[in-house]
Amino acid sequence: MHPKGRFSRIELSMTALAESAADDILGRARDGDHDAFAALIEEFQSTVYGIAFHFFADRAIAEELAQDVFLQLYRSLSAIQSRTHLAHWLRQVASRKCIDAVRKRAPRRESLDDVELSVPPNTPDPFLTRRLQKRVAKLPDLQRLILTLRYQEDLGPSEIGRTLGMPENTVKSYLHRALTALRKEFA
């Protein structure tokens, strides 16, 4: 037998074991174990916060939205079937809450010059990064959300479509329009 084949089975077994442990944590959280629920929050908080932060470019709004998502998760734990379902559910709820929050907000400012945008440390060109962030923030909400899911969460168009409840080709169209608008800005 080829050694590579053994490693593949070992890796598959380790993945299955990790998912089984994650499903066990989910089951314990469903049964009211607060430590297990805290472990779920710890595991998924960067995903939920990341979607909100990259959508709004505002830490306070992202933190508030993430809290709302996890509160909704706590109320909906009985409906979550597996870790994979949980990850999908969290992305879906976070995305919808972003859109809902935009609809409830005051009209969007045309100038983002006074907005404090954070730039990760060791960014090669902070000026260009801020310029890109400001341009992305000016995109229509759905285009901005799709860009966030595609490039920050690394989801493919079909998974974005499932998350947002839209056809894959529609996702591709929104993504194309967003990238075209960004290219025009930097041409």
CATH number, domain with residue 146? 1.10.10.10
pLDDT of residue 19: 57
Question: Is 123 found in the same domain as 92?
Answer: no
Question: Is 162 found in the same domain as 103?
Answer: no
Question: Is 103 found in the same domain as 16?
Answer: yes
Which of 72, 107, 142 is the endpoint of a domain? Answer: 107
Question: Is 131 found in the same domain as 88?
Answer: no
Count of C-beta atoms within a 10 Å radius of residue 115: 14
For 30-78, write each residue's pLDDT tens digit.
999 999 999 999 999 999 999 999 998 889 999 999 999 999 999 999 9
Number of folded domains in the chain?
Answer: 2
The DSSP 8-state label assigned to residue 151 in this structure reads I
Residues 6 or more apart whose CB falls under 8 angstroms from that of 101 comprise 56, 61, 65
For 103-144, write each residue's pLDDT tens digit.
887 555 444 454 555 666 676 777 877 888 888 888 999 999
For 95-105, write each residue's pLDDT tens digit.
999 999 988 87
Which of 66, 83, 107 is the endpoint of a domain? Answer: 107
Distance CA 163, CA 95 (A): 8
- Mean pLDDT along residues 79-108: 89
Question: Is 159 found in the same domain as 175?
Answer: yes
In-domain check, residue 186: yes
Question: Is 103 found in the same domain as 15?
Answer: yes
pLDDT of residue 105: 76
Task: Using only the alpha carbons of the chain, give its radius of gyration.
Answer: 19
Question: Is 56 found in the same domain as 18?
Answer: yes
Instruction: Tell whether the model's pLDDT for residue 1 goes beyond 50.
Output: no
In-domain check, residue 20: yes
Which of 38, 72, 107 is the endpoint of a domain? Answer: 107
Question: Is 65 found in the same domain as 26?
Answer: yes
List the domain range (segments joined by +) for residue 148: 115-187
Q: Is the dihedral of CA 146, 147, 148, 151 positive or negative?
A: positive
Question: Is 140 found in the same domain as 178?
Answer: yes
Confidence of residue 24 (pLDDT cuts 50, 70, 90): confident
pLDDT of residue 73: 97
pLDDT of residue 32: 92
Question: Is 100 found in the same domain as 123?
Answer: no
